[in-house]
Amino acid sequence: MTGNGYMGFRGTLEEFGKEQLAAVTLAGVYDQAGGKWREPVNAPNALFTRLSCNGKRLGVLDAEPLSHSQELDISCALHKRETVYGISGGELAFTAERFVSMDQLHVLVSRLSLTATADCRIELETGIDSEVWDINGPHLYGLQERHTKGVLLAEAVTGELGLQVAVAEMTTCHFEAGETSGEGGARRFIAFDVKAGEVYEWYKYAAVYTELDCSEPAESAVQNIRTAEAAGYGQLLAAHREAWAERWKRSDCVIEGDAAAQFALRYSIYQLLIIAPTQSEKVSIPARGLSGQVYKGAVFWDTEMFMLPFFLHSDPATARNLLMYRIHTLDGARRKAAEYGYLGAFYAWESQDTGDDACTLFNVNDVFTGRPMRTYFRDKQVHISADVVHGIWQYVAFTGDDSLLADGGAEVIWECARFFYSYACYNPVKRRYEVLDVTGPDEYHERVNNNAYTNALVRLTLEVALQSAELLRAKYPERYEQLAGRLAGGPFLKEFREMLAGLYVPQPDPQTLLIEQFDRYFILEDVPLAELKARVIHPNEYFGGGNGLATTTAILKQADVVLMLNLFKSTFSQEVKQANWEYYEPRTEHGSSLSPCIYALVAADIGSPDWGYPYFMRTATVDLTGESKQYVGDLYIGGTHPAANGGAWMAAVLGFAGVLFDGKVLRVQPALPELWTAVEVPLSLHGDSFRLRVSREEITVSAAAGNREALKVSGCGSRDQLCQPGAMLTLRTAGAAGASAAE
């Protein structure tokens, strides 16, 4: 897959169309058709190209090629294919190279060529393929195709919102050819005679605009495509490469000693870079990135909890965009809270453009009856609001950029706290606030009481609500008065303080050190995972929902308590973290791709990186092996896994390299897996740039010369040391000979 955050382009071949699931998936443009699920819009594909040789079609679907190769250069998101076909009297080699420009986000470009060992007559059918593949479409209506002064243009409007979508295309041939337009309007038919041994090369330029970008998308697309064509392929590619080099410079993580892990991690980072919304604060990253319409193109907690850390450490501006998206969708969250009779903001479990919830009450079909199954993702997974607060607060602490609070972040935080105040209830016998009837991260257990993860995050929300109020009042007093004034009727700070003082958050048992995932979890059937799997009747049956196999057992879908321990790692002892890791790990089914990375992270945290290494590799290779779940019930859930991609980065950098920055001190507590000799990673901390290198012997922090502040660093529990701008600081690791934590 390639992409640039504005659009994603699937790794299909030039001659592929709708049936082969070719798609140009647009970020943030959603449409609902015929009462089906709302999903992202795919644009017409302007890179479509089909060959015929001597009147016979050439393409991998038409004839078995003599050879075929495809290549993806992840250093710059360049997709290449070379296919050799047998033709009358010889062979014909066809190559195509394409990219979605990282420099000009609306532009796609490709360079195509052919050469043959025998003379032949070639016809190219190229232009814009407006036959768009959709899962729940069609989404584009009133298609108009034009050919004006060498530019093909396809225009349409989306069904629900009536948004114009325009795609323009130009093709330039570096050889003599006769071109005719087809009946369809946006097709070119280019015919020419090929001489054996000569190379025939041509270029395609495409531009995509929608009414979300500008008021006249067609004009912008045409203008943009003319400019691009004038610049030419070489210049466009150079600018694209440069933009990619900049991205990698800020984010590449080097693993020494383990080429497989290195490749998998880089592939994971690549997946994040091609979907990062670098230029828009109106979109965030969907659970399947821009790889298609799966999961409705919706944004889940995945972004804040699994992807945000990568962007915080490498690209804070994009991290800010991700959080601004939540600020822009606050009204949707307010509507959802009101719908359920609560105050404040209840963020969408599946968020699209407005923040209204795209999640249905029947998100999975029962494989045994084919009937929709009532699930409680939408209405009970209240932790989403706390996850958003956690993300905002992480950003503010991490970057020091508290303007986000004034720009709406504080309002989001307070509205989420108000939501929890209205959701929680007071138990007069136990004299405490409880959070009842929720679904935690472990979605196999719906509607549980006092989920440890949820309650801990609710507590954080209340704390952050109080702290952000203090911060805003001190630094942006006018803004504070304005925002706080609206909430003065309460519940507000007074109620938050009361609730915080009385909130029940499950704690480790003094004997076993275990934290119960939710009330009465420990009395569930404690069946071994293998035995549970032996009970499966249908390969795609969902383990959760109404009658799911796991629901009445202790088997969990994904890290829940352990995820909470990772979020609050500084507040729990190693013994507690280890006891819970050991207890929950064998009981985790990893039915979510979000799960394994957390076990890797906490394994590293408790000094057992080799327990975590297989989980890291599983996470980092999820989009290489394709070994993820493809179905939940009869619902297809394939595509890329950005949360796992982010999780792979977290496991490597925050886990094995042991990076922990709280906005004040960079603490480094490495725990490298057996194969790894060192990890090196660039870090953007509080707006300054650093390189960190962690080996078995030492920790080295290099500060960029242009940094504004000295950074406090602590390695393996040593006392804080300052790393001045332009300086390099070296610390001995705990594992190095003679070193000790007390040193």
Q: Could you give the residue numbers annotated as active site?
A: 443
From CA 454, how far away is CA 521, in angstroms rounded? 14
CB of 520 to its own copies, least distance (A): 8
Helices 452-475/383-399 angle, 10° precision = 40
User: Which segment (245-253, 288-296, 358-366, 506-514) binds its own copies by CB under 8 A?
Assistant: 358-366
Is residue 224 a contact point for its own copies (CB under 8 A)?
no
Give residue 500's identity as a one-letter amino acid code: L
CB of 486 to its own copies, least distance (A): 17
CB of 466 to its own copies, least distance (A): 17
Task: Count interface residues toward its own copies (CB under 8 A).
Answer: 33
Please, are residues 631 and 541 in contact by the beta-carbon 8 Å criterion?
Answer: no
From CA 57, how far away is CA 53, in angstroms rounded? 6
CB of 132 to its own copies, least distance (A): 33
Kind and range of the H or E element at 564? helix 561-567
From CA 255, how far away is CA 653, in angstroms rounded? 10
Closer to its own copies by Cβ: residue 141 or 368: 368
Closer to its own copies by Cβ: residue 100 or 364: 364
**b/e code 622-632 from CB counts within 10 Å (16+ = b):** bbeeeebeeeb
CB of 593 to its own copies, least distance (A): 26
Q: What's the chain's length in residues?
A: 743
Among 546, 586, 717, 726, contact with its own copies (rule: CB under 8 A) = 546
Window 466-495: contact mask with its own copies (x via CB under 8 A): -------------------------x---x
Window 411-440: contact mask with its own copies (x via CB under 8 A): ----------xx--xxxxx----x-xx---
Cβ-based neighbours of 176, under 8 Å, separated by 6 or more? 192
31: helix, strand or coil: strand
Among 148, 215, 369, 511, contact with its own copies (rule: CB under 8 A) = 369
User: Which segment (224-232, 272-280, 547-555, 589-597) binds its own copies by CB under 8 A?
Assistant: 547-555
From CA 91, how far away is CA 120, in angstroms rounded? 10
Torsion angle, alpha carbons of 221, 224, 229, 234, to 10: -120
From CA 438, how far away is CA 614, in angstroms rounded? 31
Cβ-based neighbours of 436, under 8 Å, separated by 6 or more? 424, 425, 449, 450
Helices 642-649/259-273 angle, 10° precision = 130
> Could you give phi then psi for residue 305, rounded to 5 degrees?
-90, -20
State the DSSP string of 643-678.
Answer: HHHHHHHIIIIIIIS-EEE-SSEEEE-----TT--E
- Tokens of residue 509, six digits: 């048992």
Closer to its own copies by Cβ: residue 501 or 705: 501
- Tokens of residue 646, six digits: 């982010």
Closer to its own copies by Cβ: residue 337 or 469: 337
Among 371, 486, 497, 664, contact with its own copies (rule: CB under 8 A) = 371
Q: Which residue has the tokens 């004009």?
A: 219
350: helix, strand or coil: coil
From CA 679, how far away is CA 604, in angstroms rounded? 14
SS3 of 104-165: the string is: CCCEEEEEEEEEECCCEEEEEEEECECCCCCCCCCCEEEEEEEEECCEEEEEEEECCCCCEE
Closer to its own copies by Cβ: residue 3 or 344: 344
Is residue 119 a contact point for its own copies (CB under 8 A)?
no
Closer to its own copies by Cβ: residue 61 or 536: 536
Closer to its own copies by Cβ: residue 436 or 710: 436
Among 545, 642, 646, 682, contact with its own copies (rule: CB under 8 A) = 545
CB of 344 to its own copies, least distance (A): 10
Rounded to 5°, the CA angle 526-528-534 comes to 120
Closest CA to 344 of 389, 311, 305, 302: 389
Beta strands in 290-431 (DSSP E): 364-365, 372-373, 425-427
What is each CA distance from 38 to 7, 23, 131, 295, 303, in whole angstroms?
18, 17, 19, 10, 20
Q: Where are the alpha helices (DSSP H) in 372-451?
A: 377-380, 383-399, 403-404, 410-423
Closer to its own copies by Cβ: residue 215 or 369: 369
DSSP code, position 628? S
Is residue 175 a contact point for its own copies (CB under 8 A)?
no
| Footprint (CB under 8 A) of its own copies, residues 386-405 | none
CB of 507 to its own copies, least distance (A): 16
Window 304-343: contact mask with its own copies (x via CB under 8 A): -------------------------------------x-x
Among 21, 36, 71, 368, contact with its own copies (rule: CB under 8 A) = 368
Among 70, 482, 507, 552, contact with its own copies (rule: CB under 8 A) = 552
Q: Which residue has the tokens 């790393």?
A: 723
Among 373, 564, 652, 679, contact with its own copies (rule: CB under 8 A) = 373
CB of 329 to its own copies, least distance (A): 23
CB of 371 to its own copies, least distance (A): 7
Among 189, 263, 362, 636, contact with its own copies (rule: CB under 8 A) = 362
CB of 560 to its own copies, least distance (A): 20
CB of 491 to its own copies, least distance (A): 7
Closer to its own copies by Cβ: residue 111 or 418: 418
Window 57-96: contact mask with its own copies (x via CB under 8 A): ----------------------------------------
CB of 424 to its own copies, least distance (A): 8
Window 490-529: contact mask with its own copies (x via CB under 8 A): -x---x-----------------------x----------
Closer to its own copies by Cβ: residue 300 or 542: 542
Among 374, 533, 691, 712, contact with its own copies (rule: CB under 8 A) = 374
From CA 98, how far away is CA 205, in angstroms rounded? 10
Closer to its own copies by Cβ: residue 463 or 495: 495
Among 534, 537, 737, 742, contact with its own copies (rule: CB under 8 A) = 537
CB of 540 to its own copies, least distance (A): 14
Pairing state of beta strands 2-3 and 67-73? unpaired
Sign of CA dihedral 376, 378, 382, 388: positive
User: Which segment (108-116, 247-255, 368-376, 664-672) binds its own copies by CB under 8 A?
Assistant: 368-376
User: Which segment (53-61, 269-277, 545-553, 615-623) binds its own copies by CB under 8 A?
Assistant: 545-553
Q: Residue 636's beta-bridge partner residues?
A: 631
Q: Residue 714's beta-bridge partner residues?
A: 667
Sign of CA dihedral 95, 237, 131, 220: negative
Closest CA to 168 of 97, 215, 217, 119: 217
Closer to its own copies by Cβ: residue 182 or 490: 490
Torsion angle, alpha carbons of 426, 430, 436, 439, to 10: 140
Is residue 626 a contact point for its own copies (CB under 8 A)?
no
Among 36, 249, 447, 696, contact with its own copies (rule: CB under 8 A) = 447
User: Which segment (78-86, 156-164, 285-293, 539-547) binds its own copies by CB under 8 A?
Assistant: 539-547
Residue numbers at the binding site for its own copies (CB under 8 A): 341, 343, 361-362, 366, 368-369, 371, 373-374, 421-422, 425-429, 434, 436-437, 447, 491, 495, 519, 535, 537, 545-549, 551-552
